[in-house]
Amino acid sequence: MNDVVVERLRHLFETVRRPDGKRWTLREVAEGTGLSLSYLWKLRSGRAVNPTRHVLEKLASFFGVTVTYLVGSSEEAEPVTDRAGEQEIARLLRAARDCVAAANPAEAERLARAALDRARALRSTPLTVSALVTLGRILAGSGRIEEAQEAIAAALSLSDDLAPGPERVQAVLALSYLEYEEGRFETAYDHAQRALVILEATRGDSMLRYETLFHVGTLAREAGRAQQAMAYLQEALPLAERLGERYLVPVLTSLGLAALDMGRADEALEYFTQSLSLAIRLRFAAWVNRAQHNMGLAYQRLGRWQEAIESLVKGLGSHEALGDVPFMIYDHMELGWCYASIGQREPALRHGYTALALAQEHDRPGLKARAHWHLGRVFALLGDLDEAVAHYEQAAQLLEHLGSRSEIGRLRLEHGDLMARRGDAARASELYRQAALSLLDGAPPQARERQPRLA
């Protein structure tokens, strides 16, 4: 087996190219796979024998081939034209995802469209589905929702012609991702759970299993199910470690956010620090900026306000330079909260209203609802309860249309506390009742069964 691995690894180094057309260096492949430079050199030169499946999966994932290809018998007749085309499409899609991580959506879209054209030329339905899914996610992340919907609908339609398998999982995941971008977290979570069911019933590789578990975990957290999120993400973590450092960054980030939701800010800060270190080493600009933002959140929860402000200001400057509107909005919201927490009214309101204006300008209803919610919190901290109530009510109206039941429940709970502070016991009681119904409706089925009936 070792001779075949060496032969095919050398072939991949010669034929699979970087996005700029140049060959991958040993160091770049080592960094991308998480293997040591010395071990990779020994493996390529034939001095390392019997690589583990763990190592082979990392290399196969990096070069866009299967483990079977790497270890297949030397007598295998490889369909050169199709194999070369498939490898090129896999390379283009991987490069497109790397461009997203490096905050270069225009290049990511170009690469995804090139992959789509080549997949269609090969008349490969599975590869066409993969390319459409990647393109749809890139378009959704750029706020081009209608174009993203078209791409993902086409992927779903094509996947219907295939037996339930990886392509169907990818298409359903993409639909979930689109709902997520639109702020419909619970609908997105339902689609992600459906993708996980399909995956469990089929043979999915490590990459697809990682992606599915990561996405389900991320959505469980957004739906207010932090413990479930932590379980999914911890299951994805060893898969990410096997696949390479580039896959660790998002998992560490989401684990930190789940820990934050569970009130474990010190643990969250450790995850965010690891994520930042890896993102800097991999030159993933978008993830560097997110790590700075998230570290600001952790410092907030620990009451380290100056460090929180410094981290959020760094993140804001970087997000503005990249034109990353959603995170610019989040940065402004959290900075408003920080300044309100230390009693600085003017910067608190300035950041709060800037977040709201950006959400309105870019037509992001989900973010507009959260900006109103944050402004309500800011005014409550500053003691202006009438203004706080007005923003809570506007946030509730917007969230009703997005169908995020658990989020509405949390909002009404805070709104009820606010009305209790104003001395309006009847309104507070009604809001608490509505909150209980919303939270129960947004809970997972097993949690609903454990809840007592409401009178």
Domains and CATH numbers, the chain: 2-78 (1.10.260.40)
Tell me how far apart the alpha carbons of residues 129 and 107 are, in angstroms, rounded to a whole number.
20
Q: In the prediction, which pLDDT does 415 show? A: 94
Long-range contacts, stretch 122-126, CB < 8 angstroms, 24+ apart: 122/82, 122/85, 122/86, 122/89, 124/85, 124/86, 124/89, 125/158, 125/161, 125/162, 125/167, 126/162, 126/166, 126/167
β-sheet bridge partners, residue 287: none
Rg, the chain, Cα only: 24
> How many CA atoms, within 13 angstroms, populate the side-chain half-sphere of residue 106?
2
Q: In the prediction, which pLDDT does 444 show? A: 39
The single residue listed with the structure tokens 């620090």 is: 273
For residues 50 and 1, is the Cβ–Cβ distance under 8 A? yes
Residue 345, judged by CB atoms within 10 A of its CB (0-12, 13-18, 19+), counts as: middle
Tokens of 45: 């030169």
Q: In the prediction, which pLDDT does 33 show? A: 82
Q: What is the pLDDT along the chain (455 residues), one digit of tens a residue?
A: 567 888 888 888 877 766 555 677 888 888 878 888 888 888 888 888 788 888 887 887 777 677 777 776 443 434 334 566 777 888 888 888 888 877 788 889 999 998 898 888 888 888 888 899 899 888 887 878 888 888 888 888 888 776 677 778 888 888 888 887 776 777 788 888 888 888 887 666 778 888 889 988 988 887 778 899 999 999 999 999 988 888 899 999 999 999 999 999 999 999 999 999 999 998 888 888 889 999 999 999 999 999 999 999 999 998 898 888 888 999 999 999 999 999 999 999 999 999 999 999 988 888 999 999 999 999 999 999 999 999 999 998 888 877 567 778 889 999 999 999 999 999 999 999 988 887 765 443 333 232 222 22
Q: In the prediction, which pLDDT does 20 show? A: 56
Letter string b/e over residues 406-421, b meaning 16 or more CB atoms within 10 A of that residue's CB:
bbbbbbbbbbbebbee
Which residue in 295, 257, 261, 259 sits closest to 277, CA to CA?
Answer: 295
* pTM score, whole prediction: 0.64
The number of angstroms, rounded, from the C-alpha of 2 to the middle of its chain's C-alpha atoms is: 37
